[in-house]
Structures are given as C-alpha cells and as structure tokens.
Amino acid sequence: MDITTTLNEIAALKVEDRIRLVQAIWDSIAAEQAYPELTDEQKQELDHRIADSEANSDNVMTWEQVRNSIRKT
C-alpha cells in the first residue's frame, strides 16, 4: 500500500466522509486496546497533575465558567 496515494484519496473525500473514516479508524484502534507506552516525562506529568488535583480539590471551574472565560476573549 502506498500511503501517499491513500492520503491523496482520503483528501479527495468530503469532510463528513473523512470524519467518519477517522472515527472508524479510532474505533478500530480502541477495539485492539492498543495504548502507546507513556514516556517517563509523561508519567511524571500525570503524577504531578494528580497530586495537584488532590491537594487543591476546591480549585475547580464549572463548565459554564470555562465556557464564559473562553467567550470573553
């Protein structure tokens, strides 16, 4: 299979068909439970975020607050 040819054929599809293709590919990956290995740096970052979340459990925003802060900019 020539990946360049395949990508060109995909690019010629309508956007909604490309979205459906991406969803189908993602579903096939999830079905195989193919999870990439995390790097040590990624693991440390996740550990840091968990610790920060636990230490500051009151420091949260509702979805409405997030959305409103985005719309202000």
pLDDT tens sequence across 1-28: 799 999 999 999 999 999 999 999 999 9
Q: Is 36 left (phi over 0), alpha (psi -120 to 50) or beta?
A: beta
- What pTM, to 2 d.p., does this model score? 0.44
Q: DSSP states of the chain as a string?
A: --HHHHHHHHHTS-HHHHHHHHHHHHHHHHHTT-PPPPPHHHHHHHHHHHHHHHHTTT----HHHHHHHHHH-
Per cent of the chain over pLDDT 90 is 70
**29 — pLDDT class (breaks 50, 70, 90):** confident
